[in-house]
Amino acid sequence: MPVRNDHHEHTIVAPAIIAGVGVHTGRRVRLAVRPAPAGSGIVFVRTDVTDRDNRIPVSGEAVVDARLNTMIANAADVRLSTIEHLMSAFAALGVSNAVVEVDGPELPILDGSARDFVKLLDRAGFRPQSTPQRYIEILEPVHVVEGDKHAALMPCDRYEMRMEIDFPSAAIGNQVIDFTVDEMTFRTDIMAARTFGFAHEVEALRQAGLARGGSLENAVVIDGDDILNPGGLRMEREFVRHKALDAIGDLYVLGAPLLGRYEGYKAGHALNNKLVRQLLATPSAWREVTRVPELAQAG
């Protein structure tokens, strides 16, 4: 399992294709990830849209809706939702540049985690590029608050994350995870954690046009204090691990890995994007840097 730590940008070697159902639309969608030139970033293309610009480059400003998922749009108002799990896989596996073609308005939910996206990228293979990897170095704390929820980015010489959640359901309760965000940790501790929801919210979500593709096949569903999935959970503290997975993807819309520490309490997509925008609006709080590999010392 190659760990890409040579401080250069990477793309994939060959195209990779996967298909599945959108968790909110319930529509079947086909997705193809293709290699891209150095410096081009992550660009989504709505191949079903042919009457206007269908390319949506990822950026903090491209996020237009963050209720229950992360949705991006371009100047022509072409939209694409639920990008966060694939973005999380890109971030953790060090994919800097890729074109993602999608023939519908939403990425497939697959099993509700990032595991299948990681498998997809592993099949495609990884190729280093000549351009040095840019990092976003946090220079001073940035903090956002919404009611009892809060999130922050703080200076750190590596990428760290602490996520805490607190739910009244005994099935979840209070959960905390604190870890270094790197490929190995993502593969072993984060990528398989599934999205989750509450049975009593499902009907209201469907009335609002959401969760039409949700099922026990792609989400952990809680009813009161019980987990409805026949197999139960995949891992200890799966709920907070998934929130961390989401946050990694939500922060990668910045276009580069972080050198900083993220801390979130009850943070979701909306608060994560608010934090991204606050960072971008505070130029003194960050800078772009590259890291040149240190020469091995003789003797």
Q: Which residues are catalytic?
A: 269
For 107, the token pair is 């990425």
The answer to whether 32 and 101 have CB atoms below 8 angstroms apart is yes
For 283, the token pair is 């130029």
The answer to whether 96 and 11 have CB atoms below 8 angstroms apart is yes
The rounded distance, in Å, linking the Cα atoms of 130 and 8 is 7
Longest dimension (CA), the chain: 69
For 56, the token pair is 């949506």
Compute CA 245 distance to the chain's CA centroid, rounded to the nearest angstrom. 6
Under the phi-then-psi rule, with left for phi > 0, alpha for psi from -120 to 50, and beta for the rest, what region is 283? Answer: alpha
Of the candidates 102, 99, 71, the one whose C-alpha atom is nearest the C-alpha of residue 84 is 71
What residue type is 206 in one-letter code? R
Of the candidates 128, 115, 104, 133, the one whose C-alpha atom is nearest the C-alpha of residue 218 is 115
What residue type is 99 in one-letter code? V
